[in-house]
Chain A
Amino acid sequence: MKRTDLYICIFMYLFCAFFQHETGKFPEGARHYPYFVIGLLFLLTTVRLWDMAQQYMKDRCVVNDVPETFKGFLPKQFWTMFGAFLGFFVLMYFFGFYLASLVYILFCLHYFKIPKKHVVLVLIVMLALTYFTFGWFLNVPLPKGEILGEFL
């Protein structure tokens, strides 16, 4: 029995419980189908748990496969980049898409120690690509930002 499979089952049961609770608020006629699909997920999760229990009875141990699953995981790099994604969203909301992209790409490429020549090239290509494709060709009004939008 793998530890990650146990986590999956716990998550699925919690997910089912939450949706089951929410479904209870619907009128009678609208409840049946959601109950059917939640029940299906519950049933399949239980089948999986049954398989795992049988495996456990055979081996009498829970294999900790988390280190194997996340082998080579670099927490500092991962969470820095994750933070950069969130930072990008905040910047985009306040200062608009283009400025956010400029700052974000600069930060990422600097973090990964990309040579300056390539950084300039990537910036020009990406900003030109998004402008011509989305702004010009598709006419998508990309966010100007809450703060910067006031001045544009």
Chain B
Amino acid sequence: MDANTLGLMAAGFVHVFSLMNMGMMILGVTIGIVVGCMPGLSAAMGVALLLPLTFGMKPETGLIMLGAIYCGAIFGGSISAILIHTPGTPASAATAIDGYQLTLKGKAGKALGTACTASFFGGLLSCISLYFFAPALAQLAMKFGSPEYFWLALFGLTIIAGVTSGSMVKGLMSGAFGLVLSTIGMDPMEGVERYMFGIDALYNGINVTCAMIGLFSMSQVFILIEKAIKERGNVIDFEDSVFLKAKELAQIFPHVIRSWLIGNIIGILPGAGASIACFLGYDTAKKFSKRKDEFGKGSIEGVAASEAANNAVTGGSLIPTLTLGIPGESVTAVLMGGLIIQGLQPGPELFTKYADMTYTFFAGFVITQFFMLLIGLGGCRLFAHISRLSDAILIPCVFVLCVVGSFAINNSFVEVGIMFLFGFFGYLMRKLDLNTAAVVLALILGPIGERGLRRSLTLSSNDISILFSTPICWILIALCILSSFSPLLMKVLRKRKKTEEAG
């Protein structure tokens, strides 16, 4: 790390301590925890819904707020997982196993304290990799020309296959569907209107923020209205302290470190996410623990491992998003949308031209972890009651916020209509096991890929060999092939493991 980078890092910490930035961190963490602790809402949905709030802010302040919501939501999911055995977000599914058992034993405070402390360490340590790997990867991205950007976009899209939990082809179909939708608007080279049907608002294509609010937030409203409103379980009042003793801290420490490494690597890998990391962290802790028999019956080690892993994903997942413009999961795709709204393109420029802004955001991400610890420990009793909020109240509130948020983008009813349409499509896609995150990725990466491809062909007088002209192109092609077939490979490996176990 050179002196210039160290100087930028220090300057980031100086800039972050402004009243506005601090206020937005507190607000973001609080909103994030509230969103996360309500089982009907997800982190991606929360960030998408609140994206329009950042329009009037400075880019760094807006990003700090979105980052704070992200971190808060991932931790917030553990509150309902521990207290009512319903994970607020899929990232806390593993936390529910031991967290709820601790609650039944009258140790809910201990469980929440462990979750919060482990989340803090997981998130804080994940910032280390953000500081070290992001600038290095950005330097590599500086060597990218048009052909490389085409392959990079394609690589991002093939990751869709990895993101997909069900059928790989259906995941890719969702991506291709999004790619077709991304061609709506003005042709970037020929200046021809494409599929606009006389709607001027579509001149710059489908607004990605609208699409995201629709696909992630509005679709959730449709999911909530289709079924009978569920009564949430009663929150058990707890009297025990949320603060951990030194002995307990020492007990969870090795698991936090292991989970940090796991979560961080999972975060950096595009396609994987916090929901996978929490189970991997939990399983690894179980393997290495001296108190294996306590797992599943109320182990603070289990809670710590799961929570440290899912929060360690946050910093890691920002690396490919900010440096290469490849959001590996839905929350980072929404965060990238926030970046684009501010007129910034992910890539090397964030570490050169806009380095001040980027390092202020990084510093904000570090400070956010401290606010998460303070607000989480201090307010978990209050958040526990919020987690019981009925879906019947959430439905109109989220819908109104979806409408006002999409309207605020361009003060236009067309955007509201697009949001609603995407919401209904998103609902059907989720019901039919198609991938909404893939559509968002395609809407973001489609124009980048198109520009890369068409510029390359223009430069080479339509000679296609330009797409295979550099070693970076070949590396990206190899990555495309690898990521396309990774689900098949994983399937074969899983089958082989099962056969070995059976044998």
How many residues in B have their beta carbons less than 8 Å from beta carbons of A? 52
Complex Cα–Cα for A5 and B431 (A): 11
Complex Cα–Cα for A139 and B189 (A): 36
Contact B190–A30 (Cβ < 8 Å): yes
Contact B392–A15 (Cβ < 8 Å): no
A residues less than 8 Å from B440 (CB atoms): none
Q: Indicate if B226 sits at the interface (CB-CB under 8 A).
A: yes
Cβ-neighbour of A112 out of B172, B187, B229 (below 8 A): B229
Complex Cα–Cα for A82 and B221 (A): 10
B residues less than 8 Å from A41 (CB atoms): 173, 176-177, 179-180
Cβ-neighbour of A134 out of B177, B182, B397, B404 (below 8 A): B404
Contact B169–A44 (Cβ < 8 Å): yes
- Return the CB mask of B398-434 against A: 1 if under 8 Å, else 0: 0111011001100101001000100000000001111
Cβ-neighbour of B413 out of A22, A93, A141 (below 8 A): A93
Complex Cα–Cα for A16 and B176 (A): 11
Q: Indicate if A143 sits at the interface (CB-CB under 8 A).
A: yes
Complex Cα–Cα for A16 and B179 (A): 12
B residues less than 8 Å from A82 (CB atoms): 225
Contact B190–A73 (Cβ < 8 Å): no
Complex Cα–Cα for A102 and B337 (A): 31
Cβ-neighbour of B177 out of A15, A89, A137, A138 (below 8 A): A15
Contact A37–B393 (Cβ < 8 Å): no
Q: Indicate if A133 sits at the interface (CB-CB under 8 A).
A: yes
A residues less than 8 Å from B401 (CB atoms): 130
Contact A48–B56 (Cβ < 8 Å): no
Interface size range on A against B = 35 or more
Q: At the interface, is chain A mostly helix, strand, loop or mixed? A: helix
Q: Indicate if B396 sits at the interface (CB-CB under 8 A).
A: yes
Cβ-neighbour of A114 out of B180, B195, B392, B454 (below 8 A): B392
Q: Indicate if B495 sits at the interface (CB-CB under 8 A).
A: no
A residues less than 8 Å from B479 (CB atoms): none
Q: Indicate if B250 sits at the interface (CB-CB under 8 A).
A: no
Q: Indicate if B105 sits at the interface (CB-CB under 8 A).
A: no
Known: A26-B192, A74-B228. Is A37-B53 also a contact (CB below 8 A)?
A: no
Complex Cα–Cα for A72 and B230 (A): 12
Give the contacts of B178-205 with A (CB-CB under 8 A).
Answer: 179-180, 182-183, 187, 189-190, 192, 194-195
Give the contacts of A1-54 with B (CB-CB under 8 A).
Answer: 4-5, 7-8, 12, 15-16, 19, 22, 26-27, 29-30, 33-34, 37-38, 40-41, 44-45, 47-48, 51
Chain B: CB-nearest residue to A51? B169
Contact A74–B396 (Cβ < 8 Å): no
Q: Indicate if A108 sits at the interface (CB-CB under 8 A).
A: yes
Q: What is the minimal beta-carbon distance from B432 to any residue of chain A, in angstroms?
A: 5
A residues less than 8 Å from B403 (CB atoms): 88-89, 92
- Return the CB mask of B212-229 against A: 1 if under 8 Å, else 0: 000000000010011111
Contact A27–B226 (Cβ < 8 Å): no
Q: Indicate if A126 sits at the interface (CB-CB under 8 A).
A: yes
Contact B396–A33 (Cβ < 8 Å): no
Chain B: CB-nearest residue to A77? B225
B residues less than 8 Å from A37 (CB atoms): 176, 179-180, 182-183, 446
Q: Indicate if A140 sits at the interface (CB-CB under 8 A).
A: yes
Q: Indicate if B170 sits at the interface (CB-CB under 8 A).
A: yes
Contact B170–A48 (Cβ < 8 Å): yes
Contact B180–A19 (Cβ < 8 Å): yes
Contact A130–B404 (Cβ < 8 Å): yes
Complex Cα–Cα for A16 and B392 (A): 39
Contact A27–B190 (Cβ < 8 Å): yes
Contact A138–B55 (Cβ < 8 Å): yes
Chain B: CB-nearest residue to A47? B169
Complex Cα–Cα for A93 and B189 (A): 37
B residues less than 8 Å from A147 (CB atoms): none
Q: Indicate if B450 sits at the interface (CB-CB under 8 A).
A: yes
Complex Cα–Cα for A5 and B229 (A): 29
Contact A74–B226 (Cβ < 8 Å): yes
Cβ-neighbour of A12 out of B177, B399, B431 (below 8 A): B177
B residues less than 8 Å from A12 (CB atoms): 173, 177
Q: Indicate if B453 sits at the interface (CB-CB under 8 A).
A: yes
Q: Indicate if B269 sits at the interface (CB-CB under 8 A).
A: no
Q: Indicate if A85 sits at the interface (CB-CB under 8 A).
A: yes
Chain B: CB-nearest residue to A28? B190
Q: Indicate if B386 sits at the interface (CB-CB under 8 A).
A: no
Q: What is the minimal beta-carbon distance from B502 to any residue of chain A, in angstroms?
A: 23
- Return the CB mask of A73-117 against B: 1 if under 8 Å, else 0: 110011001100100110011000100010011001100111000
Q: What is the minimal beta-carbon distance from B267 to any residue of chain A, in angstroms?
A: 28
A residues less than 8 Å from B227 (CB atoms): 72-74
A residues less than 8 Å from B395 (CB atoms): 81, 108, 112
Complex Cα–Cα for A81 and B399 (A): 11
Q: Indicate if B390 sits at the interface (CB-CB under 8 A).
A: yes
Complex Cα–Cα for A77 and B226 (A): 7
Contact B173–A44 (Cβ < 8 Å): yes
27 A-B Cβ contacts within 8 A?
A5-B170, A8-B434, A12-B173, A12-B177, A15-B180, A26-B192, A26-B194, A27-B192, A37-B180, A37-B183, A45-B173, A77-B225, A77-B228, A78-B226, A82-B225, A88-B399, A101-B400, A105-B400, A109-B396, A113-B392, A114-B390, A114-B393, A118-B393, A122-B393, A138-B55, A138-B408, A140-B411
* Interface, chain A (partner B; CB < 8 A): 4-5, 7-8, 12, 15-16, 19, 22, 26-27, 29-30, 33-34, 37-38, 40-41, 44-45, 47-48, 51, 69-70, 72-74, 77-78, 81-82, 85, 88-89, 92-93, 97, 101, 104-105, 108-109, 112-114, 118, 122, 126, 130, 133-134, 137-143
A38-B180, A113-B392, A138-B56 given; 15 more Cβ-contact pairs under 8 Å: A16-B180, A37-B176, A37-B182, A40-B176, A41-B176, A77-B226, A78-B222, A85-B420, A93-B413, A97-B407, A101-B400, A104-B399, A130-B404, A137-B53, A143-B413
Q: What 4 A-B pairs are tightest by C-beta distance, nearest first?
A: A112-B392, A41-B176, A108-B396, A81-B225
